[in-house]
Amino acid sequence: MNSQNIQVVLVNPSHPGNIGAVARAMKNMGLNHLVLVAPRKFPDPEAQWRAASAVDIIDNARVVETLDEAIGDSQFVVGTSARDRRIPWPVQDARLTAARIVERSVKEKVSILFGREDSGLNNEELRRCNLHCHIPTHPDYESLNLSMAVQIVCYEIRMAELEGTLPSDEDSHWENPFATSQDMEYFYQHLEETLVELEFLNPAAPKQLMTRLRRLYNRVRLDDMEVQILRGILKETRRVIREKGTN
C-alpha cells in the first residue's frame, strides 16, 4: 500500500463536526489526504475540536468546488453507497473494496468518495466510480453516520495493509514460556499429594477429581511462573497441614 496515493473525498458535507471526526478516523488508520467538495461550513472550530490530534489533516485538507477538481487525476474511484440503484454497478463490501484499494494504491491514484449526511452520493456522482462500496449494516437501521462509514472503510484499509502480520494467537505476546508436559506432571503429582494430605481426595475413591483438575489446567495452559506460584501454594499448604498434624 502507498497511503500517499489514497485520498478520502467528502462530497458536500454539512456538519463540520463530521469533518473533524473523519480526519481523526483517517489518521487513526494511517491515511492523510482529505478533500472536501463544497463543504457547507469549513473551516470551523467544531471540525478542529473533533479532529483532536488529527488537526494536521484538517489544516492540509484540499477544499474544492467540484467533484471534477477532486478526482480529476484519480485512476481508481470508489464510491460508498447505501442504497440499491436502478442500474446496478460493480459493488463490493468494505473488506473486499479495501483489499483492492491497498493493491491499486501501490501504483495508482485512488479516490474514495463519501456523500452527504442526509442523502449520500447522487446518481451522477456514483456514475463517476469504477466500483461502489457497500457496508452491510443491519436492516433495522441501515444509515451510518458519515464519519462512522469513513472509519469502517479506513479500518478495513488498515487491516488489509496488515494482512498476514497480525498474530492469530491470543498468547503471542506472553512474557513467560509455557510449562512443559513434564513440568505439568510434577505439578499434578504435587497437587494430588496435597489433596490427599488435606483429605479432600480419598485415594481409595478418587472419582474424577484429578481428571477434572487436569482438564481445567490443561485447558488454560499454564506458564512457568504460574506453575511456580501454584506449587508454592501447595508447598505452603502442606507445611501448614503438617504443623497442624503435630499439634
> Measuring CA to CA, which residue among 183, 143, 154, 127 is closest to residue 34?
154
CB burial of 42-63 (b: ≥16 within 10 Å; e: otherwise) equals bebebbbebbeebbebbeebee
Q: Which three cell numbers stand for residue 93?
A: 463490501
Least gap, CB of 194 to its own copies (angstroms): 26
The site map against its own copies for 78-117 (x = CB under 8 A) is: ------x--xx-xxxx-xx---------------------
Stretch of 71-79, 150-158, 194-202, 227-235 contacting its own copies, by CB under 8 A: 150-158
Residue 163 binds its own copies, judged by CB under 8 A: no
- CA atoms within 13 A of residue 241's CA, in its CB half-sphere: 14
Q: Which of 49, 60, 83, 174 is close enough to bind its own copies by CB under 8 A?
A: 174
- What are the residues whose beta carbons fall under 8 Å from the beta carbon of 210, sequence distance 6 or more? 188, 191, 192, 201
Residue 128 binds its own copies, judged by CB under 8 A: no
Stretch of 35-43, 107-115, 137-145, 203-211 contacting its own copies, by CB under 8 A: 137-145
In angstroms, the CA 147 to CA 118 distance is: 13
Stretch of 21-29, 107-115, 118-126, 185-193 contacting its own copies, by CB under 8 A: 21-29
Which residue do the cell numbers 446496478 mark?
Answer: 88
Least gap, CB of 31 to its own copies (angstroms): 8
Q: How far is CA 60 from CA 36, 48, 55, 75, in A?
A: 11, 12, 8, 22
Q: Is the peptide bond before 43 cis (omega within 30 degrees of 0)?
A: yes
Q: Which is nearer to its own copies, 138 or 244 (CB)?
A: 138
Q: Which three cell numbers stand for residue 191?
A: 497437587
Least gap, CB of 136 to its own copies (angstroms): 6
Contact 1, 160 (CB under 8 A): yes
Q: Which of 1, 146, 152, 201 is close enough to bind its own copies by CB under 8 A?
A: 152
Least gap, CB of 53 to its own copies (angstroms): 6
Least gap, CB of 39 to its own copies (angstroms): 20
In angstroms, the CA 188 to CA 65 distance is: 73
Residue 55 binds its own copies, judged by CB under 8 A: no
Residues of this chain that bind its own copies (CB under 8 A): 21, 24-25, 27-30, 52-54, 84, 87-88, 90-93, 95-96, 131, 135-138, 140-145, 147-148, 151-152, 155, 158-159, 162, 166, 168, 170-175
